[in-house]
């Protein structure tokens, strides 16, 4: 039986403009992409997008998992406790209108706040996928060495996987930036891959970003990103499913890493 890998998508406003072009233009093609490959994904959704795209969210929920990426995509570590809790509770309440239970949460930018585990419990989440990084560093290797998932108090954690000898997070961003060499950096032990739909938009959408940041979005974006993702999924050689499927089908994950509370 092939290894099960959590395929996760952060569904949020377009980077730098807070528009919804990726949601409108990329989502239908991405759903076909998954359907053709018989893959399922967890979409970590900013619930404010429900205001204009409730039908899109309902379509996602028909086959895939809807989880929360906060209400407004604000970094939790910049909020007081009441506002941070509101981001967790209001987003979960709103997303449940898609007709499915919302069990998982991912903090915007992977930035967790003080007392985060307690907030997760209070808001009613079963698991979290906020142990991750957007930049290179040894923390990626440490996260990659943890079980996926593992139990941390009353909730479960899905830490981000690594590539490149443990220095890089396994994300479409870094696969794009390092292509065509990225395939050599993939590790068969990977348990989770994350990406953003705005990575499939054309390079022109990055014109609003500060010049130093534009290459992060424009390098191998658009059509090139589809091919890079397809090659990576094939190289990882696993069954790509939702976080909740992995959690439901796993034996009781070990309680570990209590120092991360």
CB atoms within 10 A of CB 37: 13
Helix (H) or strand (E) holding 128: strand 127-128
* SS3 at position 6: strand
Burial 238-257 (b: 16+ CB within 10 A, else e): bebbbbbebbeeeeebeeeb
CB 21 within 8 A of CB 205: yes
- Domains of the chain, first to last: 4-260 (3.20.20.370)
**pLDDT tens digits, 15-70:** 766 678 899 999 999 999 999 999 999 999 999 999 888 888 889 999 999 999 99
* 89-123 per-position pLDDT tens digit: 999 999 999 889 999 999 999 999 999 999 999 99
pLDDT at 210 over 70: yes
Place of tokens 């696969």: 175
Cα 197 to Cα 192: distance, rounded to the nearest angstrom: 17
């Amino acid at each position: 039986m092939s290894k099960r890998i959590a395929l996760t998508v952060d569904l949020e406003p377009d980077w730098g403009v807070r528009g919804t072009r990726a949601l409108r233009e990329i989502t239908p093609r991405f759903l076909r992409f998954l359907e053709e490959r018989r893959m399922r994904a967890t979409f970590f959704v900013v619930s404010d997008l429900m205001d204009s795209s409730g039908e899109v969210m309902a379509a996602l929920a028909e086959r895939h998992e809807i989880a929360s990426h906060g209400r407004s995509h604000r970094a939790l570590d910049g909020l007081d406790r009441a506002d941070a809790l509101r981001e967790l509770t209001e987003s979960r309440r709103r997303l449940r209108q898609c007709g499915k239970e919302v069990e998982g949460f991912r903090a915007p930018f992977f930035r967790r706040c003080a007392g985060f585990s307690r907030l997760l419990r209070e808001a009613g989440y079963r698991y979290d996928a906020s142990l991750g990084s957007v930049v290179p560093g040894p923390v990626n290797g440490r996260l990659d060495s943890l079980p996926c998932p593992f139990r941390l108090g009353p909730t479960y954690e899905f830490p981000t996987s690594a590539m490149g000898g443990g220095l890089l997070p396994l994300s479409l961003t870094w696969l794009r930036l390092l292509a065509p060499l990225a395939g050599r950096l993939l590790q068969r032990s990977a348990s989770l891959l994350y990406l953003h739909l705005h990575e499939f938009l054309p390079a022109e959408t990055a014109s609003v970003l500060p010049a130093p940041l534009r290459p992060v979005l424009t390098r191998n974006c658009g059509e090139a990103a589809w091919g890079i993702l397809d090659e990576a999924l094939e190289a990882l050689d696993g069954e790509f499913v939702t976080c909740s499927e992995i959690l439901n089908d796993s034996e009781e994950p070990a309680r570990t890493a209590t120092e991360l509370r």
